[in-house]
Every structure is written in C-alpha cells, then in structure tokens.
Amino acid sequence: MTRHAPFTPHTRSAGILAIVRAPFLDHPQPIAFAHRGGAAHAPENSWTAFEHAIKLGYAYLETDARATSDGKLVAFHDRRLDRVTDASGPNECAALP
C-alpha cells in the first residue's frame, strides 16, 4: 500500500524529478519540518535559524542548496538574489566574496 501520491510528470521538469523512496518519512501522521530553518525567527537558511529550530524540537530541517558562479554551495531558497539581499539577478551568477 502506497501512502504517497504517485509521481506526476510535468513538461517543465521532465528528466529532473524522480520518485525517491524514503522509508524514514513513511509515517501515519504528518511530520513537522522547519521550513528554511524556521525563517520566522532568524534569517532564513542561516545557522541561527537551524539552531533555533532544533531548540524548538524539530527533527527535520528543510533547506535549498544552490551553487554560485564560483562553485560554492550555499543554502539559499530563491533562484534570484533580489528578495533577501541587496544584490539582484540570478544567484548562480553571483560569486562569494
């Protein structure tokens, strides 16, 4: 018996998404995730936000990993820098100082 909805392909994401079986997520009730580390209490995707979420008792953190133009991996939700920084443009074009 599958508890999760079946994967539905989408033309914009063809070849990108796949079904990933994760038995540790197969629970009879919802699982609480700290979205972006709990961005309501600290800057999103920051170490401070992650630590705060853990202190609140979250066992799972949700974040997004993106690469910058100089090959550094960063925890950053948006595809563009505009919303949470004083820079603009796509974040893959940015380089870390």
Q: What residues are annotated to the active site?
A: 35, 77
Q: Which two tokens stand for residue 31?
A: 């699982």
Report the sign of the C-alpha dihedral through residues 82, 87, 90, 95, in that order.
negative
Beta carbons of 82 and 75 less than 8 angstroms apart: no
Q: Residue 20, Cα to own-chain centre: how many angstroms?
A: 16
